């Protein structure tokens, strides 16, 4: 069985280099594989769909890479890892972005009314563009590192049509739900990134930024590619400004940062320059939050606070913190209490609950996912601590908050 670290490394490289996703599914996970391959016009509940997908998975051999292109020219590359009963899927990706006329022709070809053009365009705008040769190279790299396989057979084409169906199957609700889910996922990523910036977590903010760039890779606000990229970076600048305002950074500092990056965006002459500006922007805004927080504490305690914030999603021991700043645990405990007015455990609990509260306000993440995200191993314990701290359960708070807004 391959190491999870190896798979995580491949995922990170695929996103960073090609803006593509690589995912692994158990062969029995028909629902998960369906979600990966479907379009807004796919009726995954049809018996024919289930039968064809099950047949495909059973018939795939362990040696080939399989290339599936749906009827909207969206591509997937996949291979079976029989030894651990999994399928690895890279995609979706387009080799080129279709024009509006081509979108209309696609709909006519699969007998879907042209009134569904907006739904199709929104779907295709979410799909990143990548040359087939590069996607195939990444897939072969994944096969090599996961399966230790250096010899490659020819790529086989998957010959079946999940999406070919009369209009009666392309139900309005399925399309609406699909589009809404895509938008909600993007908003969740944006708000999680802003929470990371507000908390001074540089690595998390940059990682979420990369995921956001994948999700909006195809969205066009203007025909000019450079201008379109500028719109995206302007938006990140505005959102990041709001995030550090919530962290109580001095407003003069906030204004100076915002103007500095607005000028850089204005003067940028290439998409590559803008991508680097976006990363620098996130890094500097987040570092400003860390600096503002560190002014309240000595260097040792400031370093402990930053370490806690960057590792909030997992258990952290006093011994681990003490080793990080080369202090005895008992001495660190006394010093931390003196400077912050709280014990280490109280500080971590407070930070976890406040971050959970922020995510309840700004995302549609499930309470179970939020609990895990902020370092609670059990949802029930998160709910109890949240109620003790804020006087309401997470569910009650979310309902009340959304009524207010």
Question: What is the Cα–Cα distance from 162 to 173, expressed in whole angstroms?
Answer: 18
* Domain end position, chosen among 116, 139, 170: 170
pLDDT confidence bin for 313, thresholds 50/70/90: confident
On the question of pLDDT at 387 being above 90, the answer is: yes
* Domain end position, chosen among 261, 295, 329: 295
The answer to whether residue 176 is domain-embedded is no
Indicate whether 32 and 158 sit together in one domain. Answer: yes
The answer to whether residue 286 is domain-embedded is yes
Indicate whether 396 and 321 sit together in one domain. Answer: yes
CB environment 151-167: b (16+ within 10 A), e (fewer): eeeeeeebeeebbebee
Tell me what pLDDT residue 291 has. Answer: 76
Tell me what pLDDT residue 48 has. Answer: 78
Tell me what pLDDT residue 383 has. Answer: 93
User: Dihedrals φ, ψ of 305, to 5°?
Assistant: -60, -45
The sheet with strand 75-81 has its strands ordered as 22-26, 86-93, 75-81, 66-69, 156-157
What average pLDDT does the chain have?
A: 82
For a pLDDT cut of 90, what percent of the chain falls above it? Answer: 20
* Contact between 313 and 374 (Cβ < 8 Å): yes
The answer to whether residue 305 is domain-embedded is no
Question: What is the Cα–Cα distance from 33 to 24, expressed in whole angstroms?
Answer: 9
Indicate whether 158 and 280 sit together in one domain. Answer: no
The answer to whether residue 178 is domain-embedded is no
Indicate whether 156 and 8 sit together in one domain. Answer: yes
Indicate whether 36 and 103 sit together in one domain. Answer: yes
Angle between helices 344-362 and 172-198 (to 10 degrees): 150
Indicate whether 153 and 242 sit together in one domain. Answer: no
Provide the domain limits for residue 76: 4-170
Q: What is the mean pLDDT of residues 22-26?
A: 91
- Integer CA distances (angstroms), 50 to 29, 44, 56, 159, 391, in order: 12, 7, 10, 15, 47
* Contact between 207 and 213 (Cβ < 8 Å): no
Tell me what pLDDT residue 175 has. Answer: 53
Handedness of CA 82, 86, 91, 92 (dihedral sign): positive
Question: What is the Cα–Cα distance from 77 to 60, expressed in whole angstroms?
Answer: 13
pLDDT in tens, 349-365: 998 998 888 888 877 78
Tell me what pLDDT residue 151 has. Answer: 66
* Domain end position, chosen among 265, 295, 325: 295
On the question of pLDDT at 309 being above 80, the answer is: no
Q: What is the mean pLDDT of residues 39-58?
A: 82
CB environment 238-257: b (16+ within 10 A), e (fewer): eebbebbeebebeeeebeeb
Q: Which residue has the tokens 């040696």?
A: 63
Tell me what pLDDT residue 163 has. Answer: 41
Indicate whether 112 and 52 sit together in one domain. Answer: yes
State how many domains the chain has.
3
On the question of pLDDT at 98 being above 50, the answer is: yes
Indicate whether 155 and 226 sit together in one domain. Answer: no
Handedness of CA 94, 5, 321, 376 (dihedral sign): positive
Higher pLDDT, 216 or 102: 102
The answer to whether residue 175 is domain-embedded is no
CATH number at residue 336: 1.10.10.60
Question: What is the Cα–Cα distance from 362 to 353, expressed in whole angstroms?
Answer: 14
pLDDT confidence bin for 121, thresholds 50/70/90: confident
pLDDT in tens, 142-200: 888 887 766 666 788 886 654 434 344 344 555 555 555 666 666 777 788 888 888 88
pLDDT confidence bin for 214, thresholds 50/70/90: low
User: Dihedrals φ, ψ of 167, to 5°?
Assistant: -55, -30
Indicate whether 130 and 233 sit together in one domain. Answer: no
Indicate whether 161 and 189 sit together in one domain. Answer: no
* Contact between 43 and 161 (Cβ < 8 Å): no
Give the CA-trace dihedral at 389, 392, 398, 402, to 10 degrees: -110
The answer to whether residue 119 is domain-embedded is yes
The answer to whether residue 156 is domain-embedded is yes
Q: What is the mean pLDDT of residues 292-302?
A: 78
Indicate whether 164 and 198 sit together in one domain. Answer: no
The answer to whether residue 376 is domain-embedded is yes
Indicate whether 17 and 116 sit together in one domain. Answer: yes
User: Dihedrals φ, ψ of 320, to 5°?
Assistant: -60, -45
Q: Give the chain's largest Cα–Cα span.
A: 73
Q: What is the mean pLDDT of residues 240-257?
A: 81
């Amino acid at each position: 069985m391959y190491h999870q670290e190896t798979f995580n490394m491949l995922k990170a490289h695929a996103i960073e280099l090609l803006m593509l996703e690589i995912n692994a599914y158990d062969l029995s996970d028909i629902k998960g594989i369906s979600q990966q391959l479907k379009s807004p016009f796919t009726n995954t509940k049809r018996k024919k769909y289930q039968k064809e997908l099950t047949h495909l998975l059973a018939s795939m051999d362990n040696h080939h890479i399989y290339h599936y292109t749906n009827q909207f020219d969206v591509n997937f590359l996949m291979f079976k890892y029989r030894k651990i009963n999994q399928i690895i899927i890279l995609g979706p990706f387009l080799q080129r972005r279709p024009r509006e006329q081509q979108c209309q022709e696609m709909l006519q070809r699969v007998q879907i009314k042209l009134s569904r053009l907006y739904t199709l365009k929104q779907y295709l705008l979410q799909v990143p563009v990548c040359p087939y040769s590069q996607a195939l190279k990444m897939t072969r790299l994944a096969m090599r590192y996961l399966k230790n396989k250096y010899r490659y057979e020819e790529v086989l084409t998957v010959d079946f049509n999940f999406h070919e169906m009369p209009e009666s199957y392309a139900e309005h609700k399925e399309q609406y739900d699909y589009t809404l889910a895509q938008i909600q996922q993007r908003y969740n990523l944006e708000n999680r990134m802003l929470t990371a910036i507000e908390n001074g977590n540089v690595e998390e903010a940059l990682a979420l930024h990369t995921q956001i760039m994948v999700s909006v890779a195809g969205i066009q606000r203007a025909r000019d590619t450079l201008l379109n990229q500028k719109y995206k970076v302007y938006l990140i600048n505005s959102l990041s400004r709001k995030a550090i305002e919530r962290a109580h950074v001095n407003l003069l500092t906030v204004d100076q940062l915002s103007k500095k990056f607005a000028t850089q965006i204005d003067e940028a002459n290439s998409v590559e320059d803008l991508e680097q500006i976006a990363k620098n922007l996130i890094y500097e805004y987040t570092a400003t939050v860390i600096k503002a927080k560190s002014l309240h504490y000595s260097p040792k305690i400031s370093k402990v606070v930053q370490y806690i914030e960057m590792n909030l999603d997992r258990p952290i021991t006093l011994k681990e913190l003490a080793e990080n700043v080369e202090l005895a645990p008992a001495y660190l405990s006394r010093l931390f209490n003196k400077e912050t007015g709280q014990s280490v455990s109280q500080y971590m609990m407070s930070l976890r609950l406040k971050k959970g509260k922020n995510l309840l306000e700004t995302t549609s993440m499930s309470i179970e996912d939020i609990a895990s995200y902020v370092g609670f191993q059990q949802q029930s314990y998160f709910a109890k601590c949240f109620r003790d701290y804020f006087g309401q359960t997470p569910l009650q708070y979310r309902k009340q908050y959304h009524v207010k807004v």
